[in-house]
Amino acid sequence: MNASGKDIATPTRTREVLEKYGFSFKKSLGQNFLIDTNILHNIVDAAHLDKSRAVIEIGPGIGALTEQLCRAAGRVIAIEIDQRLLPILGDTLAPYDNVEVVHGDVLELDLAALFRDKLKGYEKVSVVANLPYYVTTPILMKLLEERLPLENIVVMIQKEVAERIAAKPGTKDYGSLSVAAQFYAETEVAMVVPASVFIPRPNVDSAVIRLKIRDVPPVEVEEEGLFFRVVRACFAQRRKTLLNNLMSGLFDKTRKEEVIQMLADLGIEPSRRGETLSIEEFAQLANEAVRRQLLTK
């Protein structure tokens, strides 16, 4: 419990804090504060924390999840973009000596430097957060692509995006985001969260997704950047065949017969759709395109 004797994440306590500081929500920052402690406990449990582990939280709000993280982990770094929340967090998190609030935009921060400067001595670090919907994908891709020394990413995001991240080949939700996330991590939807447990109430349901960071990707790729170019091209227009997407977005149109031959050699039907390809098939396709020098610059 904090100094008031009550968890922050209750409707009464949240309203008390908001009224005390005259805080008004900024729609542009996607601010929705959780008011259900059971869900917060489930989020923390999904990250498998203990006092030997550290946490980075993105968008702590008034500190409802932050205080639960402080109780579970050895150290917490909370990154908050909204300057108006800094004095509130100074108040609500006062009982905890293992937390530091960093004012900044996570998309612009040097996260490798943050690890070096603020998380020395912690080998196991997770990101745990209730992410604003409007920047979910850029934040997740930054965390994954920068190859930060992370153990888990456990985030509450829009349910639809969580389903896309965890989707399997051949399903309507499977796309380039699924392939990218699963290249870097094992993905699992941990729980679905109704809109009713937030202030203000969002228009859609949320879900908690857990990404367990892989030590090595599940496939070997010759050039990572080109692998993702191939994946994006294959999903560019979902109704188009694989061959048509590849020819319109990636390969030199004069080399169509070579592309058809490459697909035949790989045992991939040109008439298939991108969403039917497994991550292994995308890797084979990208690697072979590199070897045959078919990719346009």
Give me the tens of pLDDT residue by residue for the chain, a chain 297 residues long: 444 457 888 888 888 988 898 888 776 666 778 889 999 999 999 999 999 999 999 999 999 999 999 999 999 999 999 999 999 999 999 999 999 999 999 999 999 999 999 999 999 999 999 998 889 999 999 999 999 999 999 999 999 999 999 999 999 999 999 999 999 999 999 999 999 888 888 888 999 999 999 999 999 999 999 999 999 999 999 889 999 999 987 888 889 999 999 999 999 999 999 999 999 999 999 999 999 988 765
Q: How far apart are CA 163 and CA 165, in angstroms?
A: 5
Q: Residue 91, annotated ligand binder?
A: no
Query: 288: burial class by Cβ within 10 Å (0-12, 13-18, 19+)?
Result: middle
Domain borders along the chain are: 11-213, 224-291
Closest CA to 85 of 114, 66, 118, 63: 63
Q: Residue 244, annotated ligand binder?
A: no
User: Facing residues of 78 across strands?
Assistant: 57, 101
Full-model pTM = 0.91
The CA–CA distances, whole Å, from 181 to 130, 161, 170, 224, 231 equal 18, 11, 17, 13, 12
User: Fold match between 11-213 and 224-291?
Assistant: no
CATH class of 11-213: alpha beta
Per residue in 41-75, pLDDT tens? 999 999 999 999 999 999 999 999 999 999 999 99
pLDDT of amino acid 5: 53
pLDDT of amino acid 283: 98
Q: Residue 59, annotated ligand binder?
A: yes
Q: Residue 175, annotated ligand binder?
A: no
* First-to-last C-alpha distance (Å) of the chain: 57
pLDDT of amino acid 103: 97
pLDDT of amino acid 1: 47
Q: How far apart are CA 244 and CA 271, in angstroms?
A: 9
pLDDT of amino acid 297: 58
* CA torsion angle 69 106 83 12 (round to 10): -30
Q: Residue 263, annotated ligand binder?
A: no
The CA–CA distances, whole Å, from 259 to 40, 43, 221, 285, 288 equal 50, 46, 19, 10, 10
Q: Residue 267, annotated ligand binder?
A: no
Homologous superfamily assigned to 224-291: rRNA adenine dimethylase, C-terminal domain (1.10.8.100)
Closest CA to 183 of 247, 227, 233, 120: 227
Phi and psi at residue 163, in whole multiples of 5°? -65, -35
Neighbours of 12 (CB within 10 A): 9
